[in-house]
Amino acid sequence: MLESMTIQQVKDKVLEKVKEEALRKAGIAESLTSTKTFVQTEGGNRYIDYFSNLVQIELSGAVLRCDNVQFSTFEDYSLKVTKQKVVADITVRRYTSKKDPAFEWYVEGIKSVYQSGEQLVFTVKPGHKGYMHVFSISNKEASLLYPIWGVHYSSKDTLIPFSKGLVYRAPFSSMVDYTLDAENDGEAQLLLIVATKKSIHFPFTKLDRFGNVTETHPNQVFEWVSSLEPHERFLFSKGFVVRK
């Protein structure tokens, strides 16, 4: 398994171990769920780990930031292997609440495989009134699919709430669509839905000079999600492949 990993994959795995160790040293209970999305391509046994390792801390705390990351490579001649060492400044947040079991949303209709040019449609049924952000995440970038400025806001600063028990069909407006595209065959993507009890804006996505939402980095999405108290949020994620 390790022999088939690239240097970058090894670095990612080492960094995740360092983050877990930082959580333990901060006295946070080991209640973490490591969610890995692997998608098999036509190549056979080749898998795309496009998300590497999304660590979601639902009960106790989370890694907010990982700065000044420095890797060093050295040879362990006694074991005849090459090792990676990492040093980083890690900021950890200890949560003051636990997940609210009553704040549950239900998402249906997301397939495992799509064709390029196909529309991404799905339904969302809130089990509790709240507000929603929808992200499309790939290897290197993340796009905010919902909300869209000028379409999904009741005013300049207020998100439109979703009512309990009603069924909403994405893309939630006739003014937008979620057309899937792939530069390469078998591209893996992740749909991440974040529901919150309060109207909380995602702060990292910016508008370009034409008023279009610009793309951001997945780490910024995870940083924002980790900053939300478990009692105030609900998370849903689903991986899928887009074929040319």
Q: Are 140 and 183 in contact (CB under 8 A)?
A: no
Query: Residue 137's closest CA among 194, 99, 69?
Result: 194
Dig out the tokens for 214 from the structure: 């610009």
Question: What pLDDT was estimated at residue 155?
Answer: 59
Tally of CB atoms within 10 A around 32: 20
CATH topology for 105-243 is: Immunoglobulin-like (2.60.40)
DSSP letters along 108-158, please?
A: E---SEEETT-B---EEEESS-BEEEEEEE-SS-EEEEE--TTTSBSSSS-
For 20-69, what is each residue's pLDDT tens digit?
778 777 777 555 444 444 444 443 333 334 344 455 555 577 777 778 88
Dig out the tokens for 223 from the structure: 């940083």
Q: Are 193 and 128 in contact (CB under 8 A)?
A: no
Note if the bond before 171 is cis, omega within 30 degrees.
yes
Domain boundaries, the chain: 2-94, 105-243
CA atoms within 13 A on the CB side of 213: 21
DSSP letters along 153-191, please?
A: BSSSS-BPPBPTT--EETTSSTT---B---SSTTEEEEE
Question: What pLDDT was estimated at residue 41?
Answer: 43
Report the C-alpha gap between 97 and 63 in whole angstroms. Answer: 16
Q: What is the pTM of this model?
A: 0.74
First-to-last C-alpha distance (Å) of the chain: 29
For 12-32, what is each residue's pLDDT tens digit?
777 777 777 787 777 775 554
Question: What pLDDT was estimated at residue 239?
Answer: 84
Ranges of residues in the chain with a pLDDT under 50 are 1-2, 32-53
Tally of CB atoms within 10 A around 98: 13
